A and B are shown apart, each in its own frame.
Chain A
Amino acid sequence: MLKRSLIVFVLCGYTLFAAGPFVWAALLSFRTTSEIQLDHYALPSPFHWEKYPDAWFNSNYGTYFLNSLEVVLAAVFILTFVGAMAAHCLARYKFRWNRAIYFVLFSTIIFPPQITIISLFQVLVNYGLYNSKVGLVLVYVAIQLPLTIYILEGFFARIPADLFEAARMDGFSDWMIFWKIAFPIALPAVSTTIILNFILLWNEFLFAVVLITDEASRTLPLGIQRFIGDTQEDIGMIATGLMIAMIPVIVVYGFFSEKLIQGMTAGAVK
């Protein structure tokens, strides 16, 4: 009984720790900045629902949101398929330099993004991709691909080779074996990378702020930054913007979370 109470107590504490900032930001999103300055922790009274359409239409959040959606979905789509194919290839096929390629890919994870940002900036300028969403998508794919391959390679390597051989005897080509056998079996791990990449890229700020200056191409993190001035911050609108930004992440997480848990526990319960 004591043990159970302790567990409940710890879980309540953790929930407060994890959900507290979210609830607070949600409450702030319904209050104006002047109300917030009077009392940081008060409940909304009245609820300023109008702040959401105001942010969406008047503060250009709609454009930022759609830009983020375009860039992140395109990047995650490419990452998922290119990453899965590369991981399957590295995990399944024996060829010269297999491990060397894997090592080179994986070793890029250790570099902090600041190291590459200046050269990336120059490369994008040279190729006419600076200030374009296509350029940002390519950069996002490049920075997240090693981690994606790393996660997926481990999973693909655990798929028994007998399955592929059975499929070969059933008459399937390597290409079809990947799509009909390997990819569906790896879905838990693929979901993990989808969530991970989506959340990381949805919140990505550093590359976006350096590589995008055009108002029409800004992504959500840059849009939220606009409410932070040199001398004052529009806390109320920042909170509203944050809530708008969080919705897709929650939707994606809700959609893939079951697969994510399967991915994280795969092998452990086998």
Chain B
Amino acid sequence: MAIVKLDKLTKLYSSGHPPAADNVSLTIQDGEFMVLLGPSGCGKTTTLRMIAGLESISGGELSIDGQKVNDKPAKDRDIAMVFQSYALYPHMSVKDNLAFGLRRRKVPREEIERRVGEACRVLGLVPYLARKPHALSGGQRQRVALGRAIVREPKVFLFDEPLSNLDAALRVSTRTEIAALHRRLGATMIYVTHDQVEAMTLGTRICIMSGGRVMQVGPPLEVYQRPVNTFVAGFLGNPPMNLIPARVESGGAAPVVQIGDTVLAIPTGRVGTLAAGSVVTFGIRPESLSLDPRPGAAPGARLSGTAEQIEALGAETILTVRIDGQADRIADRVIARIAGDAGGIALGQPCTLSLDLNEAHLFDGAGMAVRP
């Protein structure tokens, strides 16, 4: 059992500066894989380091299994951490790196041998036991770092961007290994990353942070499909959600919004009630746009513009379109992810995009999602 509870956890490095972590409240259930996701400087690593005991807590309460651990030293929290830089001891062999912490904790020799042997078998490190870290590849070093955490058999595993130093191919395979490890151990894991693919594929739940605050917590698909605000909407997805300034023409449970010259009728029940004249942000994912007008689609569900950029990726094409009747601003372009090629559309050519308004989002003036 290891439930990690963060209750208004705050980290203030110096007065006069905004807190690095600001009232972070989060409960990580036993056996859960929680991913802290956000851009650089959002406070995710600070939060992780507070959980680890490497950073003092300025405010709030941190408890593990119901026990307050705010002032408990890192070594007494029964937590293992995998660092971004691997943090392997360069003067020790792989075996010593794995056994070092166990020896300190006075684990019997036979038990150390058993744990190290088992971790090495699982991670494929048996041939490298006598090697020093400098004689290992990046992937092998990462596996040693994982092994060092595994042999500890801790209550909670912490990962601080463990894949960011690996090349793209190795990142995919190591990601799979970490997922398999979580399934095998069933341990509570907290994983920090700025890579949304890692977050989406690994996390049981994702906690998206910005400016030291928690923006949204939920299962990967939920935060992707139902972002609570424009930050989450714009951060998740590649390309990100199109966020276009719009105005509500007629309010009610099925509002009609105007973007430039285009009027779009949002289906009933998709969004909450809005008053006519409200300034909103209309959001739609690139994959909810298509080039060919949908058969039977309402005439309002279309946007016309000029093809400004075409990125053919083979299986799909990323098409950037500048919307007609809008000022020349970045926010007035939409990006569409189209299966296959762009159907002969050339740069500078007018084109019409069809919108799946069942997937549309509206955000109010404060950037919060307008929910039914």
Contacts and interface: CB of A to CB of B under 8 A. Distances in A.
A181 B92 CA distance: 9
Contact of B87 (A163, A172, A176, A184): A163
Interface string B50-81: 00111000000000000000000111000111
A162 interface: yes
Given A171-B75, A171-B101, A171-B104, A166 B87 contact: yes
A268 interface: no
A8 interface: no
Nearest to A166: B87
Interface string A159-176: 010110111111110001
Contacts of B80: 169
A167 B52 CA distance: 12
A172 B101 CA distance: 8
A184 B91 contact: yes
A250 interface: no
Contacts of A168: 54, 73-75
A181 B89 CA distance: 7
A162 B83 contact: yes
Contacts of A187: 91
Contact of A169 (B75, B90, B91): B75
A171 B91 CA distance: 18
A167 B74 CA distance: 10
A244 to B, nearest CB: 36
Q: Is the interface of A mostly helix, strand, loop or mixed?
A: helix
B83 A170 contact: no
Contacts of B85: 160, 162
Contact of A166 (B53, B81, B105): B81
A64 B155 CA distance: 63
Contact of A172 (B53, B84, B104): B104
Nearest to B80: A169
A7 interface: no
A160 B85 CA distance: 9
Contacts of B87: 160, 162-163, 165-166
A163 to B, nearest CB: 5
A165 B101 contact: no
B84 A162 contact: yes
Given A162-B83, A181-B89, 12 more contacts: A160-B85, A160-B87, A162-B85, A162-B86, A162-B87, A163-B89, A166-B148, A168-B54, A168-B73, A168-B74, A170-B101, A171-B105
Q: Which 9 A-B pairs have the closest CB atoms?
A: A170-B101, A162-B87, A171-B75, A166-B87, A162-B83, A184-B91, A171-B104, A162-B85, A169-B74
11 contacts: A162-B83, A162-B84, A165-B87, A169-B80, A169-B101, A170-B75, A171-B104, A176-B104, A185-B90, A185-B91, A187-B91
Interface of A: 160, 162-163, 165-172, 176, 181, 184-185, 187
Interface of B: 52-54, 73-75, 79-81, 83-87, 89-91, 100-101, 104-105, 148
